[in-house]
Structure 1
Amino acid sequence: MNLAEHYNKLYTESITKISTGNYEIDHLIDDQTDKRFGITLLIRPDESTKANIQQFLDKARAIDPNQYFYKNSDLHITVMSVISCYDGFDLADINTEEYIQLIDKVLAKHSTFKIQFRGLTASPSCILIQGFLTEALNEIRNDLRFTFKNSDLQQSIDKRYAIQTAHSTIIRFRTELQNKNALLELIEKYRDFDFGTFEVNKIELVYNDWYQREQFVKKLHEFSFKT
């Protein structure tokens, strides 16, 4: 996949929808009865990159404070949705240690790699940081796909879509946009902004809600890469 082309296409299509009022509001983000949970392998950006993201979010928040802005603790890149969030999933339904052992065997074959966060793209319901990855992450994902699909463990890898990017969601639309044009102008200014490049030396396995909110996330294991 050519990531730049993919992100550009997504940006063009989504910004057109947003500008014409055809964006999507997430009505579940404030729903206290939302019970969608799953388990995910994820990467956290480093502190410098997160600081750059928050500087942008401060400007976006000043334009429209009613939207949902990701805190530093919640920023992430999804490596793999091992069990995609669904209503009623509980950790008691699985043997967590079996998942840890399987993942550890896969990741033990891989080394550290880098990801660059450069520029913004969008979907009809949110604003995303564009992540540019090396082939190393694709190799990890393919190894995980093969290993899980040849195991007896519950999983839903690629059930929604086959993840191939390294984006990070930073804003979700939780209500009608109050100052749409100003927000779109700000996003355009940051279209190619360099938020930072960081080395990935660990991956987390977490039990999480749909939005990866800190108060609901439980870290199950942290896998470290060889250098």
Structure 2
Amino acid sequence: MNLAEHYNKLYKDAITKITLGEYETDPLINDETDRRFGITLVIRPDLATKTQIQQFLAEVKATEPDQYYYQNADIHITLMSIISCYEGFDLKNIQVQDYVSLIREVLNRHQGFKIQFRGLTASPSCILIQGFLTDTLNEIRDDLRKTFKNSGLKQSIDKRYAIQTAHATVVRFNNPLQNPDALVSLMEKYRNFDFGTFDVKQVELVYNDWYQREKFVKKLHTFSLAFD
């Protein structure tokens, strides 16, 4: 996949829909009865990168104060959704240590790597920071797919789609936009902004809700990656 082309197509499609008022809002973000949970391997950007992201979000908030903004603790890249969120999933349904052992086995075969957050893209319902990755990340993903497939453990890897990007969602639309033209102008301003490059030295296995909100996330294990 050519990531730049993929992100660019997403961006153009989303900007058109936002401009035409055909964007989507998510009514479940603030629904305290939402019980969609799963387990996910996530990557956390470093503080310097998140600080740059928050500066961008502050500008967006000034234009669109009623949307949903990711706080630093919630910003993440999905390395792999092991069990996609669904209503009624509970950790009692699985043996967490079996998952930790299998993932450790896979990650021990790989080195740490870098991700660059450069520019932003969007969907009809979200604003995303564009992540550009090295081959190592997709090698890890392929290794996880193969190893889980042969393990017999409950999983739903690639059930929704085969993940190939390294983006981070930072804004979700949950109310009508007040000033879509100003929002589009701001997105253009940051379209190619360099938010930072960081070393991926750790990966977290978490029990999480759909939005990866800190108040619902339970860290199950932190894995370290060897880094030259």
Query: How would you bin the TM-score normalised by the shorter chain?
Result: over 0.9
1:26-66 CA-to-partner distances (Å, cap 9, x unmatched) read 01001111000000000000000000000000000011110
1:65 is aligned with what amino acid? P
Q: How many residues matched? A: 227
Q: Which amino acid aligns with 1:152?
A: G
Question: Partner of 2:104: helix, strand, or coil?
Answer: helix
Which whole-Å CA distance do the structure 2 matches of 1:181 and 1:91 have between them? 44
User: 2:93 matched to 1:90?
Assistant: no
Separation in 1, partners of 2:183, 2:123? 14
* Aligned ranges 1:10-49 → 2 under 5 Å: 10-49=10-49
Q: What CA distance in whole angstroms lies between the structure 2 residues aligned with 1:75 and 1:136? A: 21
* TM-score for the superposition, normalised by structure 2: 0.99
**Cα distance in 2 for residues equivalent to 1:116 and 1:32:** 34
Distance 2:206 2:107 in 1: 16
The structural deviation recorded for 1:151 is 1.0
Residue 210 of structure 1 corresponds to 210
Question: Structure 1 runs of 4+ off > 2 angstroms?
Answer: none
CA drift at 1:226: 1.2
The aligned residue for residue 73 of structure 2 is 73
Report 1:9-158 matches (<5 A): 9-158=9-158
Q: 1:179 Cα shift?
A: 1.1
> 2:226 & 2:167 partners in 1: Cα distance?
24
Take 1:154 and 1:15, find their aligned partners in 2: how far apart are those partners?
A: 38
Residues in 2 aligned to 1:85 and 1:112: alpha-carbon distance in whole angstroms: 27
Which structure 1 segments of 5+ residues have no match?
none
Aligned match of 1:219:
219
- Structure 1 residues 191-210: aligned runs within 5 Å: 191-210=191-210
Q: How far did 1:203 drift?
A: 0.3
Deviation of the 1:184 alpha carbon: 0.8
Q: In structure 1, what is the Cα distance between the partners aligned to 2:17 and 2:178?
A: 16
Whole-angstrom distance in 2 between the partners of 1:79 and 1:208: 14
Q: CA deviation at 1:210?
A: 0.3
